[in-house]
Amino acid sequence: MATLLVGDVHGCYDELQALLRQAAFDPAADTLWFTGDLVARGPKSLEVLRFIQSLGDSARVVLGNHDLHLLAVAEGLQAPKAADQLQAVLQAPDRDQLLQWLRHQPLIQQHAEFAFLMVHAGISPLWDLTTLQQCAQAVATQLQSTEYPQLLAALYGDQPDHWSSELSTVEQWRYTVNVLTRLRFCYPDGRLALQCKQTVSAAPPLLIPWFQLALPSTQGQQVVFGHWAALMGQGTPPGFYALDTGCVWGGKLSLLRWEDQHYFFQPSCSNRDGVGITLSE
């Protein structure tokens, strides 16, 4: 039995299948953990969703910003972007089944035995573990309810950028989703700097990568995340694992076998630069 952690797939179905062959994935015995952004920008988001859903309990998923955007587009709350290549999902005969499955995935996953926590993007330095769990669960509960469009409509925007328990319910939802699915940098006081998408070396001096701040919520746990392709899996402190290595941008898809800390890499089938898209997006 193996615990296999996979970086952002972004519709790169062929690379995912090749990577799983490398790792000798056995769905009857192994568990696949995905860092989110299953869909968008790559050519086969529909195939990716169908495959991961078919794994049942052999898959663990956290939602990424592109996964949530797909749900918002499906509800008519956001306009589809041609570069996202999501029409096959939106027009699929099993669309409703796939989208219902997607919105029932959480924003965080924890492994009790191995003491690691998985998120798509980042963790607020202003949260303790209880607050992190409660905020993530509040969003998941709303997303899984019949009133989930109310949540999806409230997600867009960069404010509030600072946590307070006195924020309104909608503000708490937006802050939570921005942290867990969009965060890269913070200011020294913990405020979110969501507009900065550069590499660490190119960022303004005042900004700090979220994983370099004190994080009360992660004490005693290691953290696995995706989202930040520009890191290419490098530059994180011990106990932090950055698994998005930019497959959809012409990089590679990464998989970490947790038990022996062995990495597998599958190069992109082609260089998909997109139009106006950079590796850091």
DSSP of 166-215: TS-HHHHHHHHHHHHHH--EE-TTS-EETT--S-TTTS-TT-EEGGGS--
The Cα 243–Cα 87 span in angstroms is 27
- Residue-range domains of the chain with CATH: 3-267 (3.60.21.10)
Q: Specify the pLDDT at position 201.
A: 86
Q: What would the pLDDT profile of 1-47 be if each residue is shown by its tens digit?
A: 999 999 999 999 999 999 999 999 999 999 999 999 999 999 999 99
- Predicted pLDDT at 117: 97
Instruction: Tell whether the model's pLDDT for residue 148 goes beyond 90.
Output: yes
The pTM for the full model equals: 0.94
Whether the CA torsion 125, 228, 156, 152 is positive or negative: it is: negative
Q: Is it the case that residue 280 has pLDDT exceeding 80?
A: no
Average pLDDT over residues 105-114: 96
Chain centroid offset of residue 115 CA: 19
**Is the model more confident about 274 or about 178?**
178
Distance CA 215, CA 221 (A): 11
Q: What is the pLDDT of residue 276?
A: 28
- Please report the beta strands in the chain, taking only residues with DSSP state E, as ranges in sequence order: 3-6, 31-34, 59-61, 108-111, 116-119, 185-186, 192-193, 208-209, 222-225, 240-242, 252-257, 262-267
3-state secondary structure of 37: coil
pLDDT of 129 reads 96
Which residues share a beta bridge with 265? 254
